[in-house]
Amino acid sequence: MADISYDVVVVGAGPAGSIAARHAAMAGARTLVIEEHAASGSPVQCTGLVSSKTLDVCGIEPGAWVYQKIKGAHIFSPDGSSISIGGEKVRAFVIDRRIFDRLLLQRAAEAGADVMMKTKAVGLGPGLRPEQGLESGHGSERARGKKVLEVITNGKRFDISAGVVIGADGVQGSIARWSAIGQVQKVLSGVQIETAYDVENTDHVEVFLGSDVPGFFAWAVPVSENTARIGLCVDPARTHLSAYEHLRRFLHTNPRMMERSGKGCSDMLVGCIPLGPQSRTAADGVIITGDAAGQVKPTSGGGVYMGALCAKIAGEVAAKAALSGDTSAGALMEYDRRWREVVGKELAVGMRIHNVFGRLDDGDFNELMRFFGEPEVLELINTYGDIDHPSILLGKLVTKAKAGRMLGVGRIALRAMMG
Ligand SMILES: Cc1cc2nc3c(=O)[nH]c(=O)nc-3n(C[C@H](O)[C@H](O)[C@H](O)COP(=O)(O)OP(=O)(O)OC[C@H]3O[C@@H](n4cnc5c(N)ncnc54)[C@H](O)[C@@H]3O)c2cc1C
């Protein structure tokens, strides 16, 4: 196949890739998205719980692919007690990620981006230097000052030259590594099944805290009245067992699971959640976004919302740089600055909360939950709780803990705030 050339080439057709491609194309750049799988959104590696704001950011109206509207959560402490938070407002949706991802890719194509499925990036190199190629023919001229992405499609290798390559290739992505951008700070291991479950409220998710799930938490997210996605994530640095082994134990020992969940499952997924972005997310001719850049909420592991916000900026900056002819790291760092202005503080606070939570023992969790269960505190949670921006609530809780002389809890929250 003949070599081809684009202003912007996006590697990966997950949410971040499709959104970046859409915005690059809308900004006038000739844009291509490549995806190694035959369809975007498959295999699914997600619970499919996204905030209502996520759909707004993605510019998508809820459709038949929204299975449940979520208004709150039941949170369970290690001692089995629970609190219920939320209210009448719909705060999140349980969605079908396969359809969601395809809708986003369709939007990118409608904006003018070309799409190549079953096309895998296998290498990334510099294009010719500006002084090279003048006498070497048209193909070489096109590659001057560009990146050259080596890909395989239908068993054939060929090169694509790109003004800017956007690495939206997920947690296992290669573009960051090939560009010496480095790795995210931490990677959690997750596993989830979809199974029969006697759901108490279809508009509430269930969250389980404690040392059974080292470094993170377990969940049961309703799909219907009698089906849920049950899963957990663990921090591999805090356990010698796999996430799968933790889930097996959780299903067999947690009293609520023993009472409500069925045997076997209709679907199972394993996946990783990257936390903590690299110190820079742009290099010469390269930008990384979404999971590849650790743009994931460290408190919940949700990556679609943050990834969408950042990918939009990635597409805009990549297009501007490619069209202006300056695709240097210096020009592309505009992306790094802009996304950090939007979500940098939230990610940093979230990372501190995550790190503190990872150090809590069951006694701490029980104490924290008693504090959360106090009527005035519950009111604060229900008023200020925002799964996309937990730092707002955290500030209110710290003040409350101090005023109530709940020094143990205050200390926990303060450690999270101050690092
Ligand atoms: C167990 C679990 C549960 C989760 N639950 C939620 C949730 O409820 N809500 C939420 O918001 N987030 C959740 N997440 C996180 C969420 O799935 C990710 O944050 C999100 O998918 C990231 O989007 P992305 O576009 O950055 O990457 P991805 O969705 O991973 O997409 C990357 C794409 O790049 C492609 N690719 C990779 N390498 C190449 C290559 N070399 N060439 C071509 N293509 C390539 C991949 O095939 C893939 O399609 C969960 C994650 C896990 C593991």
Does 281 share its domain with 319?
yes
Nearest ligand 1 atom, CA 291: 26
Beta strand extents in 39-185 (DSSP E only): 49-51, 66-70, 72-76, 82-86, 92-95, 114-116, 119-126, 147-153, 156-167
Does 166 share its domain with 313?
yes
Does 290 share its domain with 340?
yes
Kindly state whether residue 61 falls inside one of the protein's structural domains.
no
Task: Tell me, in angstroms, the distance from the centre of ligand 1 to residue 250's CA.
Answer: 25
DSSP helix, strand, coil percent of the chain (3-state; round to 5): 40, 25, 35
Burial string for 320-336 (b: 16+ CB within 10 Å, else e) reads bbbbeeebebebbbbbb
Task: Tell me, in angstroms, the distance from the centre of ligand 1 to residue 162's CA.
Answer: 23
Q: Which amino acid is at 164?
A: V
Does 175 share its domain with 112?
yes
Question: Whose C-alpha lies nearest to ligand 1, atom 27?
Answer: 170
Total domains in the chain come to: 3
Q: Which of 186-195, 258-267, 319-328, 333-342 is predicted with the least confidence, judged by mean pLDDT?
A: 258-267
Nearest ligand 1 atom, CA 16: 25
Torsion over CA: 36, 39, 42, 47 (sign): positive
Does 175 share its domain with 317?
yes
What are the phi and psi torsion angles at 159 (to 5°)? -105, 145
Task: Tell me, in angstroms, the distance from the centre of ligand 1 to residue 125's CA.
Answer: 25
Task: Tell me, in angstroms, the distance from the centre of ligand 1 to residue 171's CA.
Answer: 7
Q: Provide the residue count of the chain.
A: 419
Task: Tell me, in angstroms, the distance from the centre of ligand 1 to residue 274's CA.
Answer: 10
Contact call for residues 6 and 31 (beta carbons, < 8 A): yes
Nearest ligand 1 atom, CA 119: 43
* Tokens matching residue 84: 């219920």
Does 287 share its domain with 263?
no
Kindly state whether residue 214 falls inside one of the protein's structural domains.
yes
Q: Which of 126-140, 283-297, 322-336 is predicted with the least confidence, judged by mean pLDDT?
A: 126-140
Kindly state whether residue 56 falls inside one of the protein's structural domains.
no
Task: Tell me, in angstroms, the distance from the centre of ligand 1 to residue 16's CA.
Answer: 8
| Distance between CA atoms of residues 415 and 418, nearest Å | 5
Q: Which residues line ligand 1 (CB under 6 A)?
A: 11-17, 34-37, 40, 45-50, 120-121, 168-170, 173-174, 190, 192, 231, 271-273, 290-291, 296, 301-305, 307
Does 401 share its domain with 270?
no
Task: Tell me, in angstroms, the distance from the centre of ligand 1 to residue 320's CA.
Answer: 26
Question: Whose C-alpha lies nearest to ligand 1, atom 50?
Answer: 46
Q: Which amino acid is at 331?
A: A
Kindly state whether residue 36 falls inside one of the protein's structural domains.
yes
The pLDDT value recorded for residue 141 is 40
Last residue of a domain, one of 287, 318, 345: 345
Task: Tell me, in angstroms, the distance from the centre of ligand 1 to residue 291's CA.
Answer: 6
| Distance between CA atoms of residues 14 and 3, nearest Å | 25
Task: Tell me, in angstroms, the distance from the centre of ligand 1 to residue 170's CA.
Answer: 5
Contact call for residues 7 and 145 (beta carbons, < 8 A): no
Residue 396: pLDDT over 80: no
Beta strand extents in 235-284 (DSSP E only): 267-275, 282-283
* Confidence at 135, pLDDT banded by 50, 70, 90: very low
| Distance between CA atoms of residues 230 and 252, nearest Å | 13
* Tokens matching residue 82: 């629970």
Q: Which amino acid is at 296?
A: V
Does 165 share its domain with 304?
yes
Does 124 share its domain with 245?
no
Of 132 and 210, the structure prediction assigns the larger pLDDT to 210
| Distance between CA atoms of residues 157 and 137, nearest Å | 21
Mutation to probe ligand 1, out of 186, 192, 233, 291 (largest number of atoms < 8 A from CB): 291
Nearest ligand 1 atom, CA 12: 34
Cis preceding linkage at 43, omega within 30:
yes
* Tokens matching residue 74: 């039941």
What are the phi and psi torsion angles at 224 (to 5°)? -150, -170
* Confidence at 134, pLDDT banded by 50, 70, 90: very low
Nearest ligand 1 atom, CA 292: 26
Kindly state whether residue 126 falls inside one of the protein's structural domains.
yes
CATH number for 209: 3.30.9.10
The pLDDT value recorded for residue 394 is 76
What range defines the domain where residue 397 resides?
353-418
| Distance between CA atoms of residues 206 and 6, nearest Å | 46
Q: What is the pLDDT of residues 254-277, one digit of tens each?
A: 999 999 998 888 889 999 999 999
Mean per-residue pLDDT for 58-85? Answer: 94
Does 18 share its domain with 124?
yes
DSSP state of 306: H
The pLDDT value recorded for residue 217 is 96
Last residue of a domain, one of 274, 293, 318: 274
Last residue of a domain, one of 314, 345, 376: 345
CATH number for 127: 3.50.50.60
The pLDDT value recorded for residue 285 is 96
Does 263 share its domain with 407?
no
Contact call for residues 325 and 56 (beta carbons, < 8 A): no
Closest CA to 79 of 360, 363, 357: 363
Residue 202: pLDDT over 80: yes
| Beta carbons within 8 Å of 214's beta carbon, 6+ residues apart | 234, 235, 238, 239, 246, 358
Mutation to probe ligand 1, out of 169, 191, 206, 300 (largest number of atoms < 8 A from CB): 169
| Distance between CA atoms of residues 303 and 177, nearest Å | 20
* Confidence at 288, pLDDT banded by 50, 70, 90: very high
Of 218 and 372, the structure prediction assigns the larger pLDDT to 218
Task: Tell me, in angstroms, the distance from the centre of ligand 1 to residue 408's CA.
Answer: 37
* Confidence at 366, pLDDT banded by 50, 70, 90: very high
Does 194 share its domain with 231?
yes
Question: Whose C-alpha lies nearest to ligand 1, atom 31?
Answer: 14
Kindly state whether residue 107 falls inside one of the protein's structural domains.
yes
Kindly state whether residue 378 falls inside one of the protein's structural domains.
yes
pTM assigned to the model? 0.92
Q: What is the pLDDT of residues 10-33, one digit of tens each?
A: 999 999 999 999 999 999 999 999
Contact call for residues 321 and 332 (beta carbons, < 8 A): yes
Kindly state whether residue 59 falls inside one of the protein's structural domains.
no
Q: Which residues pair with 287 in a beta bridge?
A: 166, 282
Residue 196: pLDDT over 50: yes
